[in-house]
Amino acid sequence: MPTLLLSHPATLDHLTPAGHPERPDRIRAIERVLTNEAFSGLIREQAPRAPLETVALAHPMAYVEAIVAASPRDGLVRIDADTTMSPGTLEAVLRGVGAAVQAVDEVMTGKVRNAFSAMRPPGHHAERTTAMGFCLFNNAAVAARHAQTAHGAERVAIVDWDVHHGNGTQDIFWSDPSVLYASTHQMPLYPGTGAASERGEHDTIVNAPLRPGAGGEQFRAAFESVLLPRVEAFGPDLIVISAGFDAHWRDLLANLQLKEDDFAWATRRLMEIAERRCGGRVISVLEGGYDLDGLAHSAAAHVRTLMGN
């Protein structure tokens, strides 16, 4: 079966202040590399617009409506120190949620083997009631909830390899035994969460922090010794990847030293577990990655691996 790529032009209309690392060129860089002949086998679809009720699977409706109300008609509105909204932001974030949900629908119904959502802004810092860290709605969290409510998934595993800890996803699922959240990330680093001692109410939070300067060897060891055994034992019905590529050695927002092959390796290892546990069902949503070359080549390695190459 093919791999699905979801995107939408609206993702480019989320504007940020000059010099902000979370910029439209991130998506343009990914789109350019995915035009290579090696990716001709991708099924490409435009992301639908998620209804507010779908976003509310992971966030209280009052919060969702507050974000809608904050959407400006012109200019930029600052939500927190580094999170802003422009006139195109609301459409972009609703399409981002829609892409994650569409990915779940097509993977869970067997239309495609797996799926990657190339949308921005990212989502994993968005807590239940708080926007932060460039993030407004938590795409991975909505995807997990949608898999449960629409497709009867009993257990969903979210694996996050963004260099920053996904405090939002951890917050949303802290007391939920049906969702495993497993993350490897640099620590200390923004947002300050993600210690190994943070385990959730039902021991379904798994954090494997890496020290600044760590490279592929340490990253793979954290996966092999901590994350992968927990995902395997959890026996998920779906694996959701929060695919941030800012742990790449070129990225200046942090200090890890990963290479494209490391992301491909992690993708392959999760696909192997998915084959054993849940019929190969994997979806991936873009999170961080701010050096354009590092992001593009890492995303390409990730998608090539999803395609089985």
Query: Beta 156-160 vs 114-117: how paired, if at all?
Result: unpaired
- Distance in angstroms (rounded) separating the CA atoms of residues 249 and 155: 34
Euclidean distance between CA atoms 169 and 167, whole angstroms: 6
Q: Cβ–Cβ contacts within 10 Å for residue 252, how many?
A: 10
For CA atoms 137, 48, 42, 147, the dihedral sign is positive
What separation in angstroms does the CA of 49 have from each of 42, 46, 106, 210? 21, 10, 16, 36
Residue 165: active-site member: no
**Integer CA distances (angstroms), 124 to 34, 167, 237, 261, 299, in order:** 24, 7, 21, 23, 17
DSSP-assigned beta bridge partners for residue 258: 248
Structure tokens at 286: 């873009």
In terms of Cβ atoms closer than 10 Å to its own Cβ (0-12, 13-18, 19+), residue 277 is buried
| Sole residue written with tokens 């807590």 | 127
**Do the beta carbons of residue 3 and residue 43 sit within 8 Å?**
yes
Catalytic residue among 14, 124, 125, 165: 125
Pairing relation of β-strands 156-160 and 238-243?
parallel
- For residue 308, the SS3 value is coil
**Distance (Å, whole) CA 249 – CA 237:** 33
In whole angstroms, give the CA distance from residue 152 to residue 147: 7
| Residues involved in catalysis | 125
